Amino acid sequence: MNKNPRKKKVAKETDPKVLFRRSKAWSNFRLKLRKKQKYDYVTGSPLAKNANCHHLCEDPRQYEDISDEERFVMLNSTSHTVIHYLWGDGKRRYNWKERLQKLKELCEMMDAANPELKD
Ligand SMILES: [Zn+2]
């Protein structure tokens, strides 16, 4: 068990997801999506070299199903972290609506605290 809650979880070498992500099929699929979706879905920024191919369906049983490109979105690293922070993952699902609302309130409080800064 991980005793330090701040320590980043490292994927196990035997994790089927890790093994799948090393496959030629995944590598080719990811490359194909990258060419098609040139920009980060959330920010509109150009995709970075290390952009993530995010699964819309988090069911682990469907992790290796790459038959439908519409079920994947290319995201830069921070956007990928944020969506999993909001939504969760294949193991845990969060109340993303509540988290988004709290983030919105926090941004509004920051707008109020920094009236001189504009978009
Ligand atoms: Zn993801």
Q: How far is the CA of 118 from the centre of ligand 1 (A)?
A: 32
Coil, helix or strand for 9?
coil
Q: How far is the CA of 54 from the centre of ligand 1 (A)?
A: 4
Residue 99 lies inside a defined structural domain of this protein: no
Number of domains in the chain: 1
Residue 5 lies inside a defined structural domain of this protein: no
Question: CA-to-CA distance for 32 and 12, rounded, in angstroms?
Answer: 26
Residue 58 lies inside a defined structural domain of this protein: yes
Q: How far is the CA of 104 from the centre of ligand 1 (A)?
A: 22
Residue 15 is predicted with a pLDDT of 86
Query: If you count them, how many residues does the chain have?
Result: 119
Residue 14 is predicted with a pLDDT of 83
Question: CA-to-CA distance for 25 and 47, rounded, in angstroms?
Answer: 21
Residue 16 is predicted with a pLDDT of 87
Residue 83 lies inside a defined structural domain of this protein: yes
Q: How far is the CA of 61 from the centre of ligand 1 (A)?
A: 15
- CA 100 to mean position of chain CA atoms: 15
Residue 1 is predicted with a pLDDT of 46
User: DSSP H helical segments within the chain, as ranges?
Assistant: 16-21, 24-36, 77-87, 96-113
Residue 11 is predicted with a pLDDT of 67
Residue 104 lies inside a defined structural domain of this protein: no
- CA 114 to mean position of chain CA atoms: 30
Question: CA-to-CA distance for 11 and 22, rounded, in angstroms?
Answer: 13
Joined tokens for residue 21: 């992500």
Q: How far is the CA of 44 from the centre of ligand 1 (A)?
A: 17
Beta-carbon count within 10 A of 51 CB: 22
Q: What is the dihedral of CA 90, 96, 99, 103, to 10 degrees?
A: 110
- In the numeric block, the tokens 């997801």 are attached to 17
The pLDDT tens digits along the chain (119 residues) read 445 656 666 667 788 889 999 999 999 999 999 999 999 999 999 999 999 999 999 988 999 999 999 999 999 999 999 999 999 998 899 999 999 999 999 999 999 999 999 87
Containing structural domain, residue 55: 16-92
Q: How far is the CA of 15 from the centre of ligand 1 (A)?
A: 16
Q: How far is the CA of 112 from the centre of ligand 1 (A)?
A: 33
Q: How far is the CA of 53 from the centre of ligand 1 (A)?
A: 7
Residue 7 lies inside a defined structural domain of this protein: no
Residue 33 lies inside a defined structural domain of this protein: yes
Q: Enter the pTM of the model.
A: 0.83
Residue 21 lies inside a defined structural domain of this protein: yes
